[in-house]
Structure formats: structure tokens, C-alpha cells
Amino acid sequence: MGMGEPLDNYDNVLKAIAIINSDYGLALTGAKDHPVTCGLAPRNRAARQDSAVNLAVSLNAPDDRRRNELMPINRKYPIEAIIKACKTYPMPRRRRITFEYILIAG
């Protein structure tokens, strides 16, 4: 988190996840892996098909007007498109999508 949009660097993020989850890496199960995306809606589904990680989505605002100010990507992928993509995101039992936000005074 904080190092750019993981779905823009998709192939390298998948390689890193594979290494982290491998026996020669950290041998994690993937259950706690959460690439944090700003919501590149078309890539959300591909991420689930190619990897067993959970997904975290940074909304950072309660509506499109405010999100447009904070995150210009919202003009291309508004909250409604992100929610729609998340509803079709194939999740195994006991897994979930995490929605993240920040609080800014005013």
C-alpha cells in the first residue's frame, strides 16, 4: 500500500504475490494478502481469477463529487462501477473485499 496502483503493475504484483506465498518466500497462505486498489473496475475480476488474494478498495470518499476531488481516477471508474465490479468479484467462502477510506477534516 502506498506504492502506486497494484493493478497498473499487474504482472509484477502477481509475481511478487507468488514469491511471498511460496515455500522459498514467506510461505503465507494468501488469506491475509490484500493488494489495495483505487478501483480499476475491469481489472478487479482478472485479479481474482489469477490469484488467491483478497482485495482491498480505497474509496476515500462517500460520494463521487468528493472522490473526484481526491482521486481523479474516479472520473473513469466512479463508485457505482467499482461496487458493481466488486459484486461480481468471485470470492471463496470466508473471504471478503475490504473497503478503505480516510477521514479529512471538513
CB of 83 within 8 A of CB of 19?
no
Instruction: Enter the pTM of the model.
Output: 0.68
The rounded distance, in Å, linking the Cα atoms of 29 and 95 is: 13
**CB-based contacts of 22: which residues, under 8 Å, 6+ apart?**
none
pLDDT of residue 68: 93
pLDDT above 90 covers a percentage of the chain that reads 10
Of residues 46 and 103, which shows the higher confidence score? 103
The rounded distance, in Å, linking the Cα atoms of 21 and 99 is: 23
User: What is the per-residue pLDDT across 31-65, written as a single tens digit (0 to 9) for each?
Assistant: 566 677 777 666 655 555 556 667 788 888 889 99
Say whether 58 sits in a helix, a strand or coil. strand
